[in-house]
Chain A
Amino acid sequence: MKPAKALITSANPADKHLPLQTIVDAKGETKTPLQILLDEIFAAGLESAAVVIAPGETESYREAAGPHADKVEFIVQSEPRGYGHAIVSARDFTGGDPFLLLVGDHLFRSYTEKNCLEQILEVAEKEEATISGVQPTRESHLNLYGTVSASLIPGSKGLFDVSKIVEKPTPTLAEQELFVPGLRAGRYLCFFGMHVLPARAMDLLSDQLASLSPGESLGLTATLNHLANSGKYLALQINGKRFNLGRRYGILRAQLDLSLAGPHRDEVMAMIIETLASEG
């Protein structure tokens, strides 16, 4: 079920500015987070991409997309009615195809030759399943992520069978319901910020949207749970790192990590030491 389309959501009014920032990537090139994400999408072999944005943001996003601007469709979410609503806004774009879902406020860094997107797409090619990228995450960060209850598929490497998804659980609930055998105590499988969803996901979201009252928000978790209950749903532990740009100092963390992995490592190190020294 390898998808050919990528969908990035970036319409949340609180985070919409994040993909438009300027950041130096691991190659030492200055880009916007949106461009870095699009670089990876197209490098992974996906054919087209769309970004769901808030009204009035098209021009700035087009600019932020840089050289990819012409290959990307910008879809405006008419009203802020939640994450699920943002996704379903792109139903015409995905058509009847599976798609790779990404969030605009995340950046990724792979620890292998393959970038993070390629890792999940490789599994998608072999498996007829919904797939979410996950990462073992400390319980103190559970309030930031969707979290899955899953068990390791015997013989596989980092591939889990998902039975339940809970959005931003408390550690209390996580300990009771989201315990994953084999992980260190206090760690849970939290979303990495990328999913391969079947076309059916759009149908489910549309159905739910239809049943909502005007103005009511639509999330994605119920749809994911429905997919988990009604079909194969896998979680892939991505061999890489995600940066949630929306966290406090999220952009700084991402920038530090990317720069220390890139050609300007010495320069950045010197800068840090200088800063620390001047602080006394």
Chain B
Amino acid sequence: MTDLISIITSDDAARRDTALAAVCNSLSRDELLEAAASLDDFRRTSDNLYHRVRALFFLYSIHRYHLPPKLDNIAGHIPFEGHDHLLNRRFQEAIDVFLAEQDENGPGDGISSALAASYHELAFQTLADQVRKSVRTVRGNQWMFRMGHPADNPLRFRKELLDLSMGASPILRESTPVRMDLSHSGWSDIFFLGMDYPAGAKVVNVSVDLGVHGRDSETRPPVEAYLRVIDEPVIRLTSIDLKATATITSLGEVFDFAKDYLGLLKAAVISSGIVPPGIEGSGQRLEDLLASLLGPGKGFELVSSVNDIPKGSRLAVSTNLLAALIGVLMRATGQTTQLVGPLEESERRLVLARAILGEWLGGSGGGWQDSGGVWPGIKLITGEPAGEGDPEHGISRGRLMPSHHVFDEEEIPASARQALQDSLVLVHGGMAQNVGPILEMVTEKYLLRSDKEWQGRQQALNLLDELIDSLKKGDIKALGKATTKNFYGPIQTIIPWATNLFTETLIARAFQHFGDDFWGFWMLGGMSGGGMGFIFAPERKAEAQEKLAEIMVAEKRRLEHALPFAMDPVVYDFSINPKGTAAVLLGGTSPLLPPNYYQIHVPQLLGRQRESLSETQKQDLLHFRQAVDERKEFSRSIHELFDNILPKDEQKNATSGSLTELLRENGFDRELHEDIRSDIREGRLGLSQNRLSTTTTISDVEEDDVLDTLEIDTSGAEAVGQQALSNGEVAVITLAAGAGSRWTGGAGTCKALNPFAPLDGQFRTFLEVHLAKSRRATKSCGMPIPHIFTTSYLTDGPTRRFLDSVHNYQYPGPVLLSKGRSVGLRLVPTVRDLRFAWEEVAQQKLDEQQQKVRDSVRAALINWAEQTGECTDYTDNLPLQCLHPVGHFFEVPNLLLNGTLKYLLENRPQLKTLMLHNIDTLGANVDASLLGLHRMSGDGLSFEMITRRLEDRGGGLARINGMPRLVEGLAMPDEEAEFELSYYNSNTTWIDIDQFLRLMGLTRDDILADETAIIQRAVRELANRLPTYVTLKDVKKRWGHGQEDVFPVAQFEKLWGDLTILPEANAGYFVVPRLRGQQLKDPAQLDGWLRDGSADYVKSLCEW
């Protein structure tokens, strides 16, 4: 029997570090199943947390990567009951259901995908539970979970803050630097890694003061937290950078994190113990709690500022802000020895523990190095083995809390620190990124000890020593070499997605311009593209700051439609902070908050009756008035105040692409829009109306309904197909009109242009991959295949310019763009639809705290829809983000409307077949056998199906009332029905041109004669026969400095697959290999895609 368990339990490190893949590759299907069964037994009985977790990852890996290729295309059935357990986070129950199905009906690709997902989720849940438990049991945090009544509150505000002898409350200000990490040794600061492999958890990070180059005259700690006592029994929170403020009057509001932009401040209030987590849901009054803290009738005000440092800087701004806020609150309540000045080491550690708690409460989670700004200077942070007395002892090898060694000047002399400052150019590239999936990938690879990645991790640890050594010597050139080696070596070995085309281009251009004076690249944080470091010879630093700003802006302009950018790039000035976090008490007769605080509050106070203002508020107005006269930093305040208060002419500021113009240019049908609005408002259209009637009978298709191309001899068909290709009878249509909402989280870039992965040594766009497949097919048949990309108002211009710039990737045949001829205007959704989407549709429940945050966000969004007006036009965003494409049904009719088909028929009269596919179906190519089968079938439309895996959601092929047809996921009357369907629609379709024209009541002559009116009528009539769906799409709205909000907006669409409703469409269905039909919809899929053979399959179809 194959002993995978001993890899987990062995005391021998070499055995323990054996790569799972190395063992599994040589195992047969039955051996793998046997090993999986043993592992499952083992993980159920083991009382060691990390043994269990590792076994779970092994099981995930077996079912995700090793078993499927050995299953001989057996699809299998996924029981809905298991899926339902999975959605509700009952992972154990889900696994039991899936294993029972496997036992009863044998293994299959589908059931393995379900088991893989379940094991994966259970592994992460187990790890997250452990971190949470450790956070709660850190000494100094425990009491907060026991306190449930104001009378039990042991904290009191310090007397100094309650002292009104000068006529105004003093203000306590905490100033905190941010941290930049020289190396995180392969993301070893992820809690899970540090707790399992403390010896490998090592980070060097530096506390820095910042300024934006060209904007700020000097550097300073960018993070500030202010606290003062006020004469109202409330908590007033203000974020200066987010221009948000809230007055909290109840305990429930403190725990409502996502209600506004003040979640971080609320998390600080809770994790500092002021409103301890134990009091949540107690039904007690905030006023009573504040009375016990401060005395009756009093409250406090907490203000945050990050000096407009943009989000995504990779400098852990938000964690250090959380730490600063916690610090100031702890000082105020006597939880530190000193009210002012720096903190003691034990206090810093407690702030770290509280910040970890706060991040967990807020539903996020950084690494343990992120609070680095609390410590001074340059420090080595290391994982610590769990000893007796630690809450983790006996559970995990390492402790949750690392230890910090601050390098003194004997270790790293002042000259070396200066040299670092003189050479490093710190920037924010402007990209918007989500590091979450990367951290999951790292954890997974670590626990699987994937061979290459494990070696990379060891190499990263060696490089850390090299980095520290260079730093100690002040040899910044060597440091640059080491950070570059780190980036191109271990970092990308472990996670290839840590880099991207933007970063690579910046590095190449920096090298091109500065040659040997460019000493190296330094990736900050979890991935590149946002905060980054470039190291130069000191004499060229000033020049490099200017040049990099120029290069970054130019590259952003070039790539902004291809990659998601949240903001324009910036260059920072920085200096090493020698103190860490520190506080001062601002006293005197008129202590002031920062100028921008008053820009938020003064307009509100002026709008109220003077009698209704509290004494503090009256004083604030007075102090502000005095400051405007006397303080330099307030000199422009009155002007800015008026600028904020007085209305602006929005039209005057609008750019050329105003919404009205765009609507006119893109065929917006106002009449149709009003009809749809009215239908949605009256409840005739909506998410629930998308669904087929509950009386519909839905069943899986029968054997004869599909042609399983994997089971038949296709040599005859291949010959037919080859002949058609050689005759030039085929063209390819790639659907590239969409933004790929899931790919960029609604950022509104063009998915087709996204350089999504390095293939054969270069980042390739989706566009390039599709052309590379057609190039290869062209080469084999000897006749250039026309390749058409459909585009929309959003993607047409950028795609056109991009293709021009790359000369169509030297594609030998015609490359055509077919621009959409109609566009819709998004609507604010109805509360009915929002509730339906969130409450009626089954969806993945999140981890407890994250779910709380999500519920809070949703409550806020429902409020937004009500306040803004249900079904009103969605116009509060960039014009392009307000429009929507009207569904891919229209893409083929568009070829008729915009003259593309006419052009093709004129130049290629023999054209008979079109192959249409989605932009993300990377394995779809002009396969001669499938073409031949389509031709031989005589069908008007041949749709390609794949067997279903758990992640393939969104309908499929079904018998609806006895008739086979495609059914969209949003039309399924219930969730369960979808799980009875064996096949998922890849949407790749072979189209017989003449039959399609006949379906529309048209002929080739109508097309060639460009009979616009006839064609338009034909399109409208066909469209009217198809259902209209209302969908909710997430749209990002960007604001401030890299901030993004996501709004669900309503839009309508008609879908291509619904043509199968029409018997005269004469649709047929092929079952094709999964690798051909699967879709790449989410960047989180990339790693698996690269590892499971999908990428190799695609490469095998391409010729670059």
Contact = CB atoms under 8 A, between A and B. Distances in A.
Nearest to B155: A170
A172 B146 contact: no
A186 interface: yes
Contacts of B335: 170, 172-173
B154 interface: yes
A278 interface: no
A170 B147 CA distance: 13
A176 interface: yes
A143 interface: yes
A141 to B, nearest CB: 7
B139 A175 contact: yes
A140 B141 CA distance: 14
Interface in A138-173: 138-143, 170-173
A138 B154 CA distance: 10
Contacts of B140: 172-173, 175-176
10 contacts: A138-B152, A139-B147, A139-B154, A140-B151, A171-B273, A172-B140, A172-B330, A172-B335, A175-B139, A175-B141
B346 interface: yes
Given A140-B152, A185-B146, 19 more contacts: A139-B146, A139-B154, A140-B154, A142-B154, A143-B156, A170-B333, A171-B143, A172-B140, A172-B143, A172-B330, A173-B335, A175-B141, A175-B142, A175-B143, A176-B350, A179-B139, A186-B142, A186-B143, A186-B146
The interface size bin for chain B is 20 to 34
A151 to B, nearest CB: 13
A179 B273 CA distance: 19
Interface string B111-150: 0000000000000000000000000000111110011000
B1076 to A, nearest CB: 60
Nearest to A186: B146
Of all A-B residue pairs in the complex, the 9 with the closest CB atoms, nearest first, are A140-B152, A171-B143, A175-B139, A172-B335, A172-B140, A170-B335, A176-B139, A176-B140, A140-B154
Contact of B147 (A140, A141, A174): A140
B139 A171 contact: no
A252 B141 CA distance: 34
A142 B142 CA distance: 15
B153 interface: yes
B167 interface: no
B909 interface: no
Nearest to B276: A171
A164 to B, nearest CB: 13
A277 B273 CA distance: 39
Nearest to A248: B151
A170 B276 CA distance: 13
Which of B139, B140, B146, B154 lies at the interface centre, i.e. has the most chain A CB atoms within 10 A of its CB? B154
A179 B389 CA distance: 11
Interface string B295-336: 000000000000000000000000000000000001001110
Contacts of A138: 152
Contact of A170 (B146, B152, B334, B346): B334
Contacts of A143: 154-156
A179 B141 CA distance: 13
Interface string A48-85: 00000000000000000000000000000000000000
B159 to A, nearest CB: 13
A167 to B, nearest CB: 11
Which of A142, A171, A176 lies at the interface centre, i.e. has the most chain B CB atoms within 10 A of its CB? A171
B357 to A, nearest CB: 12
Nearest to B156: A143
B336 to A, nearest CB: 9
Given A170-B335, A172-B273, A176-B346, A139 B143 contact: yes
Given A171-B143, A176-B140, A140 B153 contact: yes
Interface string B330-361: 10011100000000001000100000000000
A6 B833 CA distance: 78
Interface string A171-197: 111111001000001100000000000
Nearest to A141: B154
Contacts of B273: 171-172
Contacts of A174: 143
Contacts of B143: 139, 171-172, 174-175, 186
Contacts of B155: 143, 170-171
Contacts of B152: 138, 140
Nearest to A171: B143
A142 B273 CA distance: 15
A143 B147 CA distance: 14
Contacts of B153: 140
Interface string B267-293: 000000100000000000000000000
A172 B346 CA distance: 11
A185 B391 CA distance: 14
B1025 to A, nearest CB: 69
Contacts of A139: 143, 146-147, 154
Which of A143, A172, A179 lies at the interface centre, i.e. has the most chain B CB atoms within 10 A of its CB? A172
A172 B140 CA distance: 4
A222 B147 CA distance: 30
B350 A171 contact: no
Contacts of B154: 139-143, 170-171
Nearest to A173: B335
Nearest to B152: A140
Nearest to B333: A170
Which of B143, B147, B273, B350 lies at the interface centre, i.e. has the most chain A CB atoms within 10 A of its CB? B143
Contacts of A173: 140, 335
A174 B142 CA distance: 11
A278 B858 CA distance: 49
A138 B153 CA distance: 11
Interface string B909-946: 00000000000000000000000000000000000000
A142 B153 CA distance: 10
Which of A141, A142, A170, A179 lies at the interface centre, i.e. has the most chain B CB atoms within 10 A of its CB? A170
A222 to B, nearest CB: 14
Nearest to A140: B152
A217 to B, nearest CB: 13
A113 B350 CA distance: 45
Contacts of B156: 143
A237 to B, nearest CB: 21
A141 B350 CA distance: 22
Nearest to A144: B154
Nearest to A174: B143
A176 to B, nearest CB: 5
